[in-house]
Amino acid sequence: MKLVLSLVMLALAAGAALPFYYIVVNTFKTPEQSAISPLALPSPFTLQNYKNVVNSVPLLQSFGNSAYVTVLGVLATVLFGSMAAYAINMRRTKANRVLRLVLITALAIPFQVTVVPLYEMMVKSGLVNSLSGLVVVYMAGAVFCFFIIDGYMSTIPKELVEAAKIDGAGVVQIYARIMMPLSMPVLATVAIFQTIGIWNDFLVANTFLSSSSKYTIVLQVYSSVGEFTTNWPSFMTLTTISLVPMVVFFLIIQRKIIGGLAAGAVKG
């Protein structure tokens, strides 16, 4: 039975890895080789696609744009989400229960439904085609952060808060010195998911950015697709380069993801 399960898991892993292999291996081929034998190993091996991408695409600028919106977006969503969860858990009034229900219900509304009114609001605010405006849109992710953090904070013993109040701690001190440190596992998990989501986002960036100088790395990948023809090896090379930061990031923090999810499960 274990052998069968192992074979099934290996087959699933191979199926999941095949698209990634297909993309990476074709970055070391000429367009002709890629068209004739896309799954074969490169022969001869060439780095010309990487040289072409480095010389023709403003990679540093695009990576900088992606890093800017990702860092600020993650900080804002985690901060506002945790503050909302803290405020609602501190005072469990009827109004706060209604507010919690409204916020959770908002998660069920698809982003595509709100694109048109949101775009009109952004135009009136002068935030269209702006990296800072893009960060403002990403702040909507605070609702997701609230949903995850709220469940975790609700399990923190209220005796700790009461003891801090008796010792003279204020609302801000309780939030910063008690609730935040105790919620660090789930905060880290939420921050990781937000980082991956914002960095890889295409829909929001493509909707609100129009200047090529403000393109994120994902938009640079999309812009490399021609209207009539596409140099697929160069396209896949740029795709591979854009994936490298997130692959490295995931390898570094994968244990924190598992640890955060396990901590949330135990708390729940």
From the candidate CATH numbers 3.40.50.2300, 1.10.3720.10, 3.30.428.10, 1.10.240.10, the one assigned to the domain spanning 45-267? 1.10.3720.10
Alpha-carbon gap, residue 94 to 97, rounded angstroms: 5
3-state secondary structure 198-263: HHCCCHHHHHHCCCHHHCCHHHHHHHCCCCCCCCHHHHHHHHHHHHHHHHHHHHHHHHHHHHHHHH
Rounded Cα distance between 198 and 142, Å, is 12
Please report, as a single letter, which amino acid is at residue 222: Y
- H-helix segments, 27-58: 31-36, 48-56
Residue extents of the structural domains in the chain: 45-267
pLDDT, tens digit, for every residue of 62-78?
999 999 999 999 999 99
- 249: which 2 tokens? 């990031």
pLDDT digits (tens, 9 = 90+) for 226-268: 655 677 778 888 989 998 888 888 888 777 666 655 554 444 4
Question: In degrees, to the nearest 5, what angle opens at C-alpha 208 toward C-alphas 206 and 212?
Answer: 65
pTM to 2 decimal places: 0.85
